[in-house]
Structure 1
Amino acid sequence: MTLTNQDIADLVEFRRELHRFPEISGEEAETARRVVGFLDDTQPDTVLTGLGGHGVAAVYDSGLPGPTVLFRSELDALPIEELSDAPHRSTIAGKSHMCGHDGHTTILAALGRQLGRQRPARGRAVLMFQPAEETGAGAAGVVADPRYEAIRPDFAFSLHNVPGTPFGHVRLKPGVVNCASRGMRIVLEGKTAHSSMPETGTSPMLAVSRLMPALAKLGGGSFENDDFGMVTVTHAEMGEAVFGIAPGRAEVWCTLRTRLDERMADLCAAAEGLAREIAAQDGLRFAVDYHEIFVASLNAPEAVDHLRAALDAEGITHDEEQLPMRASEDFGLFGHTSKSAMLFLGAGTDLPELHNPDYDFPDDLIAIGSRIFMRTARSLLG
């Protein structure tokens, strides 16, 4: 179960290679190719590519009855310009691994090396390198892929690094750990007019001015309780960037966030009803569509128990503090078909935050993350 010094050196170089060549959601073809190439020497029994987009699943099969245990990482980077002097900084303008997915993928690559040397004693281990986590499309695409049924797990595990938490310390709890969220785009349609005669048109200006604060007020409830709801207006635009035309069209974008999926349905209905009412007051047509849909992530107690046992066996400290998080994570969808759990691995207290332009995944987390997952795999699969 121990990585050699050469393993660590290879894995660090692999992580930094991924960091130099980031690909954003839906564009991860070359990243997927690099993963398949790195795992080639481990001789997985099956390699599925193109899952849900550019996803890769490497299967290490004992050939004997037993559970299927899936470990998942993410392939995608972010559309952020990296601000760094590191030798391995991004070489792609406007794109970078500012969420640490390069590190998560390397942790699974480390697991592949170990499983290649010693197959499970029973059942199967599946390493799922998932695309498009940042947009919420990746997990949905993987689970909807007809080939997923052949590797559908009994247990699914994942991790995310967390700056601001002591290095190597783990946050883990059963129940809700990440909120459901979705982007809502509201379109208001009226009629343009000459700016000298705005009364001859139908402007969405007043409707937009009422809609934005009213949307924000739809949220409520304590974050400690399942009635929590939150609406954040993220973008608005109206008319054309000219002086001679009174506007006839506007868009308002907002993010809806809840602890539970059931509450999300109620919040969507309330937001749509509000938009309909305000549009009608000013004689506007309205339309609504949704983007970047994330279901709530709930950790199954039995899956959490396996992770806790692995943490204790490895002498890694853990607690339930700072959970759940308001942020969303599309790993929650794997929990609809398996017993799943995600842990949050401390990256250190003196690092930039995730999605900051100067964040860089700490290489020393690779060995810690792989120890946790390897111990979990061996306890379930032998």
Structure 2
Amino acid sequence: MTPDALERLTLLRRDLHRYPELSGQERETSARVVGLLSDLGADRILQGLGGYGVAAVFEGSKLGPTVAIRCELDGLPIQEISDVDYVSQNAGNGHLCGHDGHMVMVLGVAEALKRNRPSKGRVVLIFQPAEETGKGAEAFRNSPEFSDIAPDYVFSLHNLPGLNLGSVELCEGPANCASCGMKVTLVGKTSHAAAPQDGVSPAFALSGLIPKLASLSSGDDLDEQFALATITHANLGERTFGVAPGQAELWVTLRTVTDARMHRMMADAEALVRDAAASDGLACQITYDDVFEACVNHPEAVENLQTACKTHGVPCKLVQSPQKFSEDFGQFSKGAKTAMFWLGAGRTHPQLHNPDYDFPDDLIPIGTKIFLSSIQQILGGVRD
């Protein structure tokens, strides 16, 4: 990547950083990406996939496999705390996970493809909406247009604070935990606070469920038996001294390494809730949100990324344990060989979703050339 190209992409990244949009609301970001891809000579640009998703197709000269590179469009509902001159201009929203940087690296791939098409097959650049809620990848894949661009391989990355700047970690097999948000509603009957016996209070069921659900956690090692239940929110009745409560709400995040273990954990959690409700004469409702299936890397795709890192002298380590946090990238493994790699943001860099997080611009050329090398290995013809 030339110094001029790096400067251009850096300025673009910082401008995208100024205007983060939340999951499902990425209209302006999507429109801007479409305009940039048009200028970069994409053969086809598909819009509206799974909401505001975009796919840009770059055709090779002969038939061959389809290789996709995926990034994310959305920001977070977090107020940024920063003194940089490109701080978020959208109050309460911030690009505090690095999706601005991920987009720019994929646009860097588009710049290279404008100069050098693949020798065969095609490259599809995916700009996916709503990753943060776990809804975007599934909606993207379920779009009618997706069948026309269905990839054989999909590669992605996520920057990772705590890992040396510019170094790579890869995991063969499970790479990200499955997780889901479980919302429990307990419904009884209110009564005057002077006569609680005439109502049906969910207070005791709620207080008992908190430790019982937390006790579903098992194992410290990130293996097939790992499970973690994290209580994130609880609410009981109204803010008044005159009414004994008639309703309670409890939110808990369930997390496992495998989807099979998640299904068992969900069944165990639901049984605890229903038993607690029945014991106290309560009705209960259980719903789920922010559902992420496990992300599993394919060995062939992992080997491809290892070779790409070696080609460019990027330090790369194969690790045994997945990341605890979740990613909806796993949806793309349904029908394709996929792999996500972790690109170090620095040992002391602010954590993802911290209010002072900012994507390190030094990663732009590194991620771009790893993606380009991955494409080159499968399709040929592509150069940085």
| TM-score past 0.5 threshold | yes
Residue in structure 1 matched with residue 86 of structure 2 by the alignment: 88
The unaligned stretches of length 5 or more in structure 2 are: none
Q: Distance in 1 between matches of 2:221 and 2:144?
A: 37
Say whether 1:147 aligns with 2:145. yes
Q: Is the 8 A contact 2:231 2:252 kept in 1?
A: yes
Q: Which residue of 1 is the match for residue 250 of structure 2?
A: 252
C-alpha displacement of 1:63: 4.4
User: Paired residue for 1:366, among 364, 371, 376?
Assistant: 364
Counterpart of 2:205 in structure 1 is 207
User: What SS does the aligned partner of 1:172 have?
Assistant: strand
CA deviations on 1:45-98 (whole Å, 9 max, x unpaired) are: 110111101111011011421000000001000001010010000011100011
Moved more, 56-65 or 115-124: 56-65
Are the equivalent residues in 2 in contact too, given 1:172–1:323 (CA < 8 A)?
Answer: no
Give the secondary-structure state (helix, strand or coil) at the position aligned to 1:15.
helix
SS in structure 1 opposite 2:321?
Answer: coil
What's 1:268 paired with? 266
* 2:112 equivalent in structure 1: 114
Aligned-partner residue type, residue 55 of structure 2: A
Aligned to 2:43: 45
Structure 1: state its 5+ residue gaps: none
Stretch moving more, 87-96 or 33-42: 33-42
How many Å separate the matches in 1 of 2:363 and 2:244? Answer: 56
1:129 equivalent in structure 2: 127
Instruction: Spell out, residue by residue over 1:224-258, the C-alpha distance to the aligned partner (whole angstroms, 9 max, x if none).
Output: 32011111111011111122111100111000111
> In the alignment, is the contact (CA less than 8 A) between 2:222 and 2:321 conserved in 1?
no
Residue 226 of structure 1: aligned partner = 224
| Aligned mates of 1:246, 1:335 — CA distance in 2 | 50
SS of equivalent residue, structure 1 residue 40? helix
Q: Distance in 2 between matches of 1:246 and 1:272?
A: 26
- C-alpha distance in 2 between matches for 1:273 and 1:241: 30
Alpha-carbon distance between aligned partners in 1 of 2:61 and 2:253, rounded to the nearest angstrom: 46
Q: CA deviation at 1:223?
A: 2.5
C-alpha separation in 2, matches of 1:225 and 1:84:
38
Secondary structure of the corresponding residue to residue 230 of structure 1: strand
Is the 1:171–1:322 Cα contact (8 Å) retained in structure 2? Answer: no
Q: Retained in 1: the 8 A contact 2:171–2:320?
A: no
- Secondary structure at the aligned position of 1:252 is classed as strand
Question: Contact 1:75 / 1:102 at 8 angstroms: preserved in 2?
Answer: yes
Query: Which whole-Å CA distance do the structure 1 matches of 2:320 and 2:344 have between them?
Result: 12
Q: CA deviation at 1:9?
A: 1.5
Look up the SS of the partner of 1:320 in the other structure.
strand
Contact 2:68 2:126 in 1 (8 A): yes
RMSD: 1.0
Q: Does residue 339 of structure 2 align to residue 353 of structure 1?
A: no
Specify the alignment match of 1:343 in structure 2. 341
| Among 95, 98, 101, the residue aligned to 2:99 | 101
Structure 2 residue matching 1:274: 3-state secondary structure: helix
Which range moved further: 248-257 or 55-64? 55-64
Matching residue of 2:7: 9
How much does 1:322 deviate? 7.4
Q: Secondary structure at the match of 2:274?
A: helix
Structure 1 residue 222 displacement after superposition: 4.1
- Spell out, residue by residue over 1:133-187, the C-alpha distance to the aligned partner (whole angstroms, 9 max, x if none): 0000000110111111111110000000011111110001211110000000011
Separation (CA, whole Å) in 1 of partners of 2:321 and 2:10: 30
Distance in 2 (CA, whole Å) between partners of 1:137 and 1:302 is: 27
**Number of aligned pairs?**
380
Name the counterpart of 1:179. 177
User: In 2, Cα distance between the equivalents of 1:198 and 1:20?
Assistant: 53
Secondary structure of the equivalent of 1:364? Answer: helix
2:377 maps to what in 1? Answer: 379
Could you tell me how far apart the structure 2 residues matched to 1:262 and 1:87 are?
A: 46
Q: Are positions 1:156 and 2:127 aligned together?
A: no
Whether the aligned pair in 1 keeps the contact of 2:172 and 2:320 (CA below 8 Å) is no
